[in-house]
Structure 1
């Protein structure tokens, strides 16, 4: 005998014949989630992770290339620009990429964004084969195209947010992001032996068939959610830009993801600058590897203990860790430098997961605080509005966070050019992390903090933020 809910679930689960669209999606309904939602969400998550992973692999191409260019071809400043420009483009492109799943459908955009990765990989091959004849400005433009891979993160995260219940987003968002972040480490680990065997040009060729396979998998196995196509408008994005919470979380995300990506792009150059006798290619992959695997753990901890608590502890750990890195630089202690930096990478990963868990929780609580708790329809509308606002805020925060990575890279460049070392930049970062720790406590954990007062809560931590 078919129950009423089973009938509803059957209507929601099957894809329509055109473009694999799902017309009805109710992940916050426990019965719907158990009957059909979870299975579909997991399948979409898998292919989202794959495409985002390849995006990060392509995004990091030039961080590997610069370590294998002819010695003396470029100055340290030029090398840092070749790694900074992709980061800058990847950060800026995240805003339009955030809108793309809602405009075109999550599955459709995943296919398109995956195929776009053929542009930077093809240009990379061209650049390597014509390295002696290309002006530096042209190389910089070619390097900039790899920023397309950085944009994949924003569209992937915005899309997957709609597939999971609000109370269970920490782990899947952490896994989605970790799968992407891991592309950083995979590129840095796998490319050096490939370069030795086939030359630097192979770094471009190797990703092309994988991109085609990912696009085909996304085409055949992912879904578009009809409910997500009205996720938010440009007007709502502008409105979200006027919210204090958007910018507070953006700053915190600079501290976590901005640090992760800034260090990932710069780690090899920093090793080469501070410890020239160490072969950086043997170690640069470790940082992104540790940070990537820590990210879903941060999401899981945030689901269990609250994102604000985990984030505050993370910033304390980052303050101490980057202080240890600064000491190691001054002491010329390679072992301490590597160990402390890996500790910081792990902390950034945990913080990436916990801050991303905070965003949907904050905007959902704010939306619900304005609704009549006795009116079920009003609560449902408020919950949907909170989800839309969170998706828009995630796009802004991810873009600002990645721009933070650019600032970190430039801080190292300026420090090296002016003092021949990175210690001043490290000290400045330690102060920034300490301020982020204080901000998290004051706004989200302190009793009757400013942010808590916005929603009438004694502390947002008590509401699960």
Structure 2
């Protein structure tokens, strides 16, 4: 006996949540009416170089999060067929989402640029751990190392989602002041906030391609070499460039955010003893 299974119908599970969100937005988001902007108003971000720089960095954080969320179950099944990978598939997105929720205040406290540097360093360590686990294939603890490394990578990407978003308003407040010297006071704040919002939306759209690029990279690597290592080495190189970009443009002495984040750091008490 055979039966038909219409997998596309599974998408209908999201309909009630989409409707509820639309209703909540329509009636509850009335506090941002003054921030309306036409496409022409928002298009100025395409002339802001930091828009494109942040696209690169946010692809490294959110792009990795969404891409690995899509790739982790399939990669686990291919590399460790003896393990029921679906039983663990939800853990990565869960850890990443919780890390994102918890990283907002630390990003404000210590500075998004500083935390982003460490995020990419952690993502490099997580990727190295995955490579190590693949090399251990056949060892009883190989999958445990693989899973732990992936969860560490998910957690780091979640923190990075918060830290990179924290950077954007700080960057644009300085950039708009430099590029639009005629704007002062409330007008300057309003323009920088509008551009920040537009950049956040645009970088999110660009980074969402991680959901395609990362699984595709793994698929191409496996098809060409029989393993996922080439793709992972590519990700390592990419994360190294993200560290370099963050340091050069934002956190080094003379970088756009150095003074701001240095001041934040000095404002944090280093000795709480009575």
Q: Which residue of 2 aligns with 1:461?
A: 261
Of residues 216, 223, 226, the one that matches 2:33 is 226
Q: CA deviation at 1:424?
A: 1.1
- Give the secondary-structure state (helix, strand or coil) at the position aligned to 2:103: helix
> Is residue 336 from structure 1 mapped to residue 145 from structure 2 by the alignment?
yes
Query: Hey, what's the Cα distance between the residues in 2 that align with 1:283 and 1:224?
Result: 40
Query: Hey, what's the Cα distance between the residues in 2 that align with 1:458 and 1:310?
Result: 13
> Is residue 351 from structure 1 mapped to residue 156 from structure 2 by the alignment?
no
Query: Hey, what's the Cα distance between the residues in 2 that align with 1:213 and 1:237?
Result: 28
Q: What's the TM-score, normalizing by structure 2?
A: 0.85
Change (3 A) 1:279 1:390: same
Unaligned stretches of 5+ residues in structure 2: 266-274
Q: CA deviation at 1:397?
A: 0.7
Residues 114-125 of structure 1: pairs in structure 2 closer than 5 A? none
Of residues 382, 404, 417, the one that matches 2:210 is 404
Change (3 A) 1:212 1:440: closer
Q: Which residue of 2 aligns with 1:276?
A: 81
Change (3 A) 1:448 1:210: closer
Residues 77-96 of structure 1: pairs in structure 2 closer than 5 A? none
> Is residue 414 from structure 1 mapped to residue 220 from structure 2 by the alignment?
yes
Query: Hey, what's the Cα distance between the residues in 2 that align with 1:438 and 1:287?
Result: 27
Q: Which residue of 2 aligns with 1:393?
A: 199
Q: CA deviation at 1:428?
A: 1.1
Query: Hey, what's the Cα distance between the residues in 1 that align with 2:70 and 2:13?
Result: 20
Q: What's the TM-score, normalizing by structure 1?
A: 0.52
Unaligned stretches of 5+ residues in structure 1: 1-69, 71-126, 132-141, 143-200
Change (3 A) 1:395 1:221: closer
Q: Is the 8 A contact 2:42 2:194 kept in 1?
A: no
Q: Deviations over 1:77-104 (max 9, x none)?
A: xxxxxxxxxxxxxxxxxxxxxxxxxxxx
> Is residue 290 from structure 1 mapped to residue 107 from structure 2 by the alignment?
no
Change (3 A) 1:359 1:458: closer
Change (3 A) 1:216 1:329: same
| Higher RCO (C-alpha under 8 Å, 6+ residues apart) | 2
> Is residue 318 from structure 1 mapped to residue 123 from structure 2 by the alignment?
yes
Q: CA deviation at 1:264?
A: 0.5
Q: Deviations over 1:367-397 (max 9, x none)?
A: 234577xx9x822111111001111111211
